[in-house]
């Protein structure tokens, strides 16, 4: 549940019907990275994602929903909690929702959420620990899928290395299916990563098409593991590859020269099998 504190003043309720309203314009701006960076917020679409954000303790700056008789009880309850924490409520019409989302059939609930970035892990010793390093990931769908997969595999967090796509874009957050709120994200330049890597007292497994080690033969269980993934187009640059203890390969059949980045990350994470819950019950 949310552990945010009660704000000194409750958020306000505004009814907005004009698409030219400045507040609506600034929310629409959150489709662009420069506005997300400036405001330190991002936009999520749909009741589930806004509720996930709140439940995981992320600050909901603004809750936006379609006003009407059909407003559901859970939204009214969420709105009351968001207000207690100082977030504003915008009751809008379909035209305003369409103008924000640029969709004919928009979600009826949107949220403006405050971004959260984490610090790089220090003095990690638990052998169950898994962090993922992503080198210059470009595709928001890939990044969102990796965040979702990392969450499902119980990974501890993701380090975004170099110029990457924004994890807080609408496309990326949508692809996370709510996992964006449950996976710590750290960002570093390539140089910062190489310096930090020296303090990592576990195994660094780079995944590489020229990898000399079959990914099934590595002992992942005895140490914390940092899994390093290369860029979609260029693979992993030499300086990152040299920082790895092992370069591992998933051997493949077929005509393609590589797996999709998100698929390769998932294959490694589930091969490691760290922190996976036991299966309860039996198939009948």
Interface residues toward ligand SAM, by CB under 6 A: 207-209, 211, 229-230, 232-233, 235-236, 249-250, 252, 258-259, 261, 264
Tell me whether residue 59 or residue 142 sits nearer to ligand SAM (CB atom): 142
Instruction: Kindly state the smallest distance separating residue 28's Cβ from ligand SAM, in Å.
Output: 33
Instruction: Kindly state the smallest distance separating residue 142's Cβ from ligand SAM, in Å.
Output: 9
Tell me whether residue 24 or residue 261 sits nearer to ligand SAM (CB atom): 261
Q: Residues 6 or more apart from 87 whose CB is under 8 A from it?
A: 11, 59, 60, 61, 62, 63
Query: What are the respective helix, strand and coil percentages of the chain, to the nearest 5?
Result: 35, 20, 45
Instruction: Kindly state the smallest distance separating residue 256's Cβ from ligand SAM, in Å.
Output: 9
- In angstroms, rounded to a whole number, what is the distance separating the alpha carbons of residues 20 and 1? 36
Tell me whether residue 93 or residue 258 sits nearer to ligand SAM (CB atom): 258
Tell me whether residue 204 or residue 236 sits nearer to ligand SAM (CB atom): 236
Query: Is residue 234 helix, strand or coil?
Result: coil
- The structure tokens listed for 240 are 């990152």
Categorise residue 56: left if φ over 0, alpha if ψ from -120 to 50, beta otherwise: alpha
Tell me whether residue 188 or residue 250 sits nearer to ligand SAM (CB atom): 250
Categorise residue 162: left if φ over 0, alpha if ψ from -120 to 50, beta otherwise: left
Tell me whether residue 4 or residue 262 sits nearer to ligand SAM (CB atom): 262
Query: Is residue 8 helix, strand or coil?
Result: coil
Instruction: Kindly state the smallest distance separating residue 108's Cβ from ligand SAM, in Å.
Output: 37
Contact status, residue 262 vs residue 145, Cβ threshold 8 Å: yes
- In angstroms, rounded to a whole number, what is the distance separating the alpha carbons of residues 161 and 10? 39
Instruction: Kindly state the smallest distance separating residue 175's Cβ from ligand SAM, in Å.
Output: 17
Phi first, then psi, for residue 246 (nearest 5°) are -140, 145
Tell me whether residue 9 or residue 253 sits nearer to ligand SAM (CB atom): 253
Instruction: Kindly state the smallest distance separating residue 203's Cβ from ligand SAM, in Å.
Output: 16
Instruction: Kindly state the smallest distance separating residue 214's Cβ from ligand SAM, in Å.
Output: 10
Closest Cα partner for 68 from 101, 96, 92, 44?
Answer: 92
């Amino acid at each position: 549940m949310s552990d945010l504190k009660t704000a000194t003043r409750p958020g306000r309720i505004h009814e907005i019907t004009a698409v030219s309203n400045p507040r609506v314009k600034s929310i629409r701006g959150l489709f662009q990275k420069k506005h997300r960076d400036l405001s330190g917020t991002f936009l999520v679409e749909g009741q589930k994602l806004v509720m996930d954000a709140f439940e995981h303790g992320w600050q909901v700056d603004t809750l936006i929903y379609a006003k009407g008789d059909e407003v559901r009880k859970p939204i009214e309850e969420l709105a009351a909690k968001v207000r207690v924490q100082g977030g504003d409520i915008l009751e809008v019409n379909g035209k305003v929702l369409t103008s924000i989302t640029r969709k004919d059939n928009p979600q009826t609930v949107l949220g403006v959420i405050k971004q959260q970035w984490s610090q790089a892990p220090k003095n990690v010793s638990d052998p169950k620990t898994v962090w993922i390093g992503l080198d210059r990931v470009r595709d928001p769908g890939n990044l969102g899928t990796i965040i979702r997969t990392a969450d499902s595999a119980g990974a501890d967090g993701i380090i975004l290395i170099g110029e990457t796509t924004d994890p807080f874009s609408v496309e990326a957050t949508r692809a996370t299916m709510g996992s964006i709120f449950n996976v710590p994200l750290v960002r570093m330049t390539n140089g910062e990563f190489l310096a930090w890597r020296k303090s990592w007292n576990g195994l660094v497994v780079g995944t590489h098409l020229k990898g000399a080690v079959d990914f099934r033969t590595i002992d992942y269980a005895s140490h914390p593991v940092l899994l390093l993934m290369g860029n979609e187009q260029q693979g992993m640059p030499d300086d990152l590859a040299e920082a790895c203890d092992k370069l591992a390969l998933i051997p493949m059949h077929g005509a393609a020269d590589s797996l999709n980045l998100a698929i390769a990350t998932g294959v490694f994470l589930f091969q490691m099998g760290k922190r996976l819950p036991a299966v309860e019950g039996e198939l009948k």
